[in-house]
A and B are shown apart, each in its own frame.
Chain A
């Protein structure tokens, strides 16, 4: 957990600039770390980085009259989070992260266009990334808190399963099954 403060600091810095590309890269990088360690706290930070990157790409959100107060609230909570991380008080850090998530969900709920909220979409998106990295679908869903059915539906529309891996085809599997049926 040594790097947690640094990671939160990087997310805050990228968000304040704002550096959208760096936020997205941070989301992916922190998820990789989370996957290696089965670390849900890091997974939450990666979700936040991803959500902040998405918020910044939405013109109707960043030009809204409430955006500045939401932005400042997020920055304040990230700053507090950094302090908690420095004190290694990860429970309080988690509270600050939840406060950031609440800010994100609040503005998304007020101004978003979709039934599935930004934070839930982030969970699915990052869980699919964890699946690509080699975790099982269940483990990937559990890491980010994504719904397994939604994750499976999402993955079905990607090219993840087109990857050429050593594989037993449909006919061969059926053949093996029929042999034991006899």
Chain B
């Protein structure tokens, strides 16, 4: 099964030092992991030159060199799709009749790659891309609450996006960590205890995964 990562989820997982579980998950569950060239640049090529972030970039790069994660360029058809997605996603919401640009090229590339690889699973830790796929209508109400302004939506574009990604499942780094724990893909890295799992999930949260304390508490059964 093909799974596409965006930059945010790889950043979180590499910072938790649990990134090697991806290789084990791949073997155990027959998964194939992909990133777009822009995501690779954001997670490896650029930060590997910055001392503060070089180690995490090295960790991800190792997996790419071992072909546990494949960098897949967009074909011409997918480039066209990316442009189309740009037009849809970045013209969905309006303030004073001006479109609000909410998604950036790298994120749109990941979405286009999903289609190219016939993948149904996107691993993304940042919130807006996830909301766009799962519930684009909720983005408008979020923006209105935050901006204290009326935000208009293009319902047609919202429907197009909804249809395009109706079968897409969004996972975050916390779900991958939970899955790795269940399948024993974290053996040797952390103990097989609830406390260890909880600690690993919080590590992902404090690395930037958009998951709340409440969600983690509920999942580990402490609520």
Contacts from A to B (Cβ < 8 Å): 32, 35-38, 131-139, 141-142, 147-150, 152-153, 155-157, 160-171, 173-174, 176-177, 180-181
The reply to whether B102 and A166 form a contact with Cβ atoms under 8 Å apart is no
Task: Add 16 more A-B contacts to A139-B101, A153-B208, A157-B206 (CB < 8 A).
Answer: A38-B100, A133-B146, A136-B107, A136-B128, A137-B128, A138-B42, A142-B104, A147-B50, A152-B208, A155-B208, A161-B212, A169-B219, A173-B169, A173-B175, A174-B179, A176-B169
Quick one: which of B103, B128, B182 has the most chain A CB within 10 A? Answer: B128
Residues of A within 8 A of B56 (CB): 149
The reply to whether B215 and A137 form a contact with Cβ atoms under 8 Å apart is no
The reply to whether A165 and B12 form a contact with Cβ atoms under 8 Å apart is no
B7: Cβ under 8 A from any A Cβ: yes
The reply to whether B143 and A134 form a contact with Cβ atoms under 8 Å apart is yes
13 contacts between A and B (CB under 8 A): A35-B100, A38-B100, A133-B147, A134-B142, A136-B104, A137-B126, A138-B107, A153-B15, A156-B205, A156-B206, A166-B135, A170-B211, A171-B219
User: Quick one: given A152-B11, A181-B29, are A139 and B102 in contact (CB under 8 Å)?
Assistant: yes
> Is the interface on chain B under 10, 10 to 19, 20 to 34, or 35 or more residues?
35 or more
The reply to whether A135 and B98 form a contact with Cβ atoms under 8 Å apart is no
CA distance A174 to B172 in the complex (A): 10
Selected contact of B207 from candidates A131, A156, A176, A181, CB within 8 Å: A156
Residues of B within 8 A of A35 (CB): 100
B73: Cβ under 8 A from any A Cβ: no
Residue of A at shortest CB range from B14? A149
Selected contact of A180 from candidates B50, B120, B214, CB within 8 Å: B120
The reply to whether A136 and B126 form a contact with Cβ atoms under 8 Å apart is yes
Q: Distance in Å from the Cβ of B136 to the closest Cβ of chain A?
A: 11
The reply to whether B178 and A174 form a contact with Cβ atoms under 8 Å apart is yes
Quick one: which of A35, A36, A153, A174 has the most chain B CB within 10 A? Answer: A36
Q: Distance in Å from the Cβ of B186 to the closest Cβ of chain A?
A: 15
B1: Cβ under 8 A from any A Cβ: yes
Taken residue by residue from 174 to 203, chain B's Cβ proximity to chain A (1 for < 8 Å, 0 otherwise) reads as: 110011001000000000000000000100
The reply to whether B207 and A152 form a contact with Cβ atoms under 8 Å apart is yes
The reply to whether A32 and B147 form a contact with Cβ atoms under 8 Å apart is yes
The reply to whether B175 and A174 form a contact with Cβ atoms under 8 Å apart is yes
The reply to whether B8 and A137 form a contact with Cβ atoms under 8 Å apart is yes
User: Quick one: given A157-B206, A177-B179, are A139 and B103 in contact (CB under 8 Å)?
Assistant: yes
Residues of B within 8 A of A166 (CB): 135, 138
Q: Distance in Å from the Cβ of A77 to the closest Cβ of chain B?
A: 29
Selected contact of A149 from candidates B1, B11, B135, B210, CB within 8 Å: B11
The reply to whether B53 and A149 form a contact with Cβ atoms under 8 Å apart is yes
Q: Distance in Å from the Cβ of B121 to the closest Cβ of chain A?
A: 7
The reply to whether A138 and B126 form a contact with Cβ atoms under 8 Å apart is yes
CA distance A36 to B98 in the complex (A): 8
Q: Distance in Å from the Cβ of B25 to the closest Cβ of chain A?
A: 11
Q: Distance in Å from the Cβ of B31 to the closest Cβ of chain A?
A: 9
The reply to whether B171 and A133 form a contact with Cβ atoms under 8 Å apart is no
Residues of A within 8 A of B169 (CB): 173, 176-177, 180
Q: Distance in Å from the Cβ of B17 to the closest Cβ of chain A?
A: 15
Near A by CB (< 8 A), chain B positions 105-122 give 105-107, 120-121
The reply to whether B104 and A138 form a contact with Cβ atoms under 8 Å apart is yes
Q: Distance in Å from the Cβ of B1 to the closest Cβ of chain A?
A: 7
The reply to whether A133 and B210 form a contact with Cβ atoms under 8 Å apart is no
CA distance A157 to B125 in the complex (A): 15
B88: Cβ under 8 A from any A Cβ: no
